[in-house]
């Protein structure tokens, strides 16, 4: 089968389309014929091995998992022993697992769910990682709460706006000038254009601040919160030539301060699960979560798709079709 393979860290030039052995599902696994995947910031972070701190668990000289991509939507091709009754050959599914920029991917059955019936494969492929991150960060939001999303125009951000609105929150998004109308179009009640307004000096306070960028200090973000508000930290950053900690600096601060603050400081760990995929499917089928796709690339051009996302030029999700 064809797959996008990486042997060492570097720019998108290190990614190669190669013929590799088609995987065979083991007990409790299924083999999915990938119809579509999507690009996430995590893909270029792993491609670059950036920040350097992350190489402690990604692999020091190159990534342990050589095939890039995490999101997938496709059709079950084979099932391994012990899968009977959970999913069947021919089922349309979606999920998240490493190695999705390929014609086939082997997935533990507990990490797949049936595709939302009203979405195309391309649309469904945008949901797993970004949707799971947004859902995990905001699923405890209560009706009437004020929520600020820093990075509202990215793949996670556009879903976060919609999920917060589905929870009946009052939502404020932060994005650049060219994305203001798009963020409004998915439901944001208020939008800050960070190129013209410093949202940390607006005088507004929020019950929840969801930071997806990592470009403001801990003090600035906490000052935006009510005394018992919640700050959710979820990575971020852009490639600037290689850094030691990058957004992990803020995450480490959050972990250290969490036990000493009346405000709730949450370092997000959005682990994929069938239950979260089912929640995303329900939101999509109800029309409360509508994927926004900027452009689509064939598998052969997956390196260009990652370049586009890494450069921060993407205005929504970028999809790769196999």
266-309 pLDDT per residue, tens: 888 889 999 999 999 999 999 999 999 999 999 999 999 999 99
In a domain, 92, yes or no: yes
- Asked if pLDDT for residue 166 goes beyond 50, the answer is yes
In a domain, 284, yes or no: no
Region 210-220: what's the mean pLDDT? 92
pLDDT tens-digit series, residues 48-102: 988 777 788 778 888 999 999 999 999 999 999 999 788 999 999 999 999 999 9
Question: What's the confidence (pLDDT) of residue 239?
Answer: 46
251 with 312, same domain: the answer is no
Q: Which CATH number belongs to the domain containing residue 189 in this structure?
A: 3.40.50.720
The alpha carbon of 22 is separated from its chain's Cα centroid by a whole number of angstroms, namely 26
Is 168 strand, coil or helix? Answer: coil
In a domain, 224, yes or no: yes
176 with 255, same domain: the answer is yes
Cβ atoms of residues 80 and 5 within 8 Å: no
Confidence (pTM): 0.92
Is 45 strand, coil or helix? Answer: helix
In a domain, 283, yes or no: no
Using alpha carbons, select from 240, 188, 236 the residue that is nearest to residue 40.
236
83 with 212, same domain: the answer is no
173 with 91, same domain: the answer is no
In a domain, 154, yes or no: yes
Total structural domains in the chain? 2
In a domain, 279, yes or no: no
- Asked if pLDDT for residue 246 goes beyond 90, the answer is no
Is 251 strand, coil or helix? Answer: helix
160 with 247, same domain: the answer is yes
In a domain, 286, yes or no: no
| Backbone torsions φ then ψ of 272, nearest 5 degrees | -65, 145
57 with 160, same domain: the answer is no
142 Cβ partners below 8 Å, 6+ apart? 167, 169, 207
- Asked if pLDDT for residue 181 goes beyond 80, the answer is yes
Residue 158 structure tokens: 């556009």
Mean of the per-residue pLDDT values for the chain?
92
Which has more confidence, 169 or 259?
169
196 with 211, same domain: the answer is yes
175 with 78, same domain: the answer is no
Which has more confidence, 52 or 228?
228
Is 8 strand, coil or helix? Answer: coil
| Backbone torsions φ then ψ of 119, nearest 5 degrees | -110, 150
19 with 96, same domain: the answer is yes
- DSSP secondary-structure letter at 241? S
In a domain, 105, yes or no: yes
- Asked if pLDDT for residue 242 goes beyond 60, the answer is no
179 with 261, same domain: the answer is yes
163 with 65, same domain: the answer is no
Q: Which CATH number belongs to the domain containing residue 103 in this structure?
A: 3.90.180.10
Task: Name the strand (E) or helix (H) holding 155.
Answer: helix 155-166
What percent of the chain has a predicted confidence (pLDDT) above 70? Answer: 93
Task: State the residue range of the domain holding 71.
Answer: 2-127+291-321
Question: What's the confidence (pLDDT) of residue 253?
Answer: 74
26 with 13, same domain: the answer is yes
């Amino acid at each position: 089968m064809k797959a996008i393979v990486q042997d060492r860290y570097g720019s998108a030039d290190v990614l190669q389309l190669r013929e590799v052995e088609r995987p065979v599902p083991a007990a409790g696994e299924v083999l999915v014929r990938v119809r579509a995947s999507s690009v996430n910031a995590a893909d270029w972070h792993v491609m670059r091995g950036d920040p350097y701190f992350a190489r402690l668990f990604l692999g020091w000289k190159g990534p342990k998992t050589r095939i890039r991509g995490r999101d997938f939507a496709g059709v079950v091709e084979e099932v391994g022993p012990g899968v009977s009754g959970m999913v069947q050959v021919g089922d349309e599914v979606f999920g998240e697992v490493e190695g999705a920029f390929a014609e086939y991917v082997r997935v533990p059955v507990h990490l797949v769910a049936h595709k939302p019936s009203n979405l195309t494969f391309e649309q469904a492929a945008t949901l797993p990682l970004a949707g799971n991150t947004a859902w995990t960060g905001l699923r405890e939001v209560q009706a009437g709460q004020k929520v600020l999303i820093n990075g509202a125009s990215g793949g996670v951000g556009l879903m976060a706006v919609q999920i917060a609105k589905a929870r009946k929150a009052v939502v404020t998004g932060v994005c650049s000038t060219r994305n203001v109308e798009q963020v409004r179009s998915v439901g944001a009640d208020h939008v800050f254009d960070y190129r013209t307004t410093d949202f940390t000096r607006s005088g507004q306070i929020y019950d929840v601040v969801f930071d997806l960028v990592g470009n403001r200090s801990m003090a600035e973000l906490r000052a935006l919160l009510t005394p018992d508000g919640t700050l959710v930290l979820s990575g971020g950053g852009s490639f600037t030539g290689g850094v030691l900690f990058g957004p992990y600096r803020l995450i480490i601060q959050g972990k250290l301060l969490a036990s000493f603050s009346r405000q709730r400081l949450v370092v997000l760990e959005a682990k994929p699960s069938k239950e979260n995929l089912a929640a995303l499917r329900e939101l999509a089928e109800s029309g409360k979560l509508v994927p926004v796709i900027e452009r689509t690339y064939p598998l052969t051009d997956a390196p260009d798709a990652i370049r586009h996302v890494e450069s921060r030029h993407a205005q929504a999700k970028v999809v790769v079709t196999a």
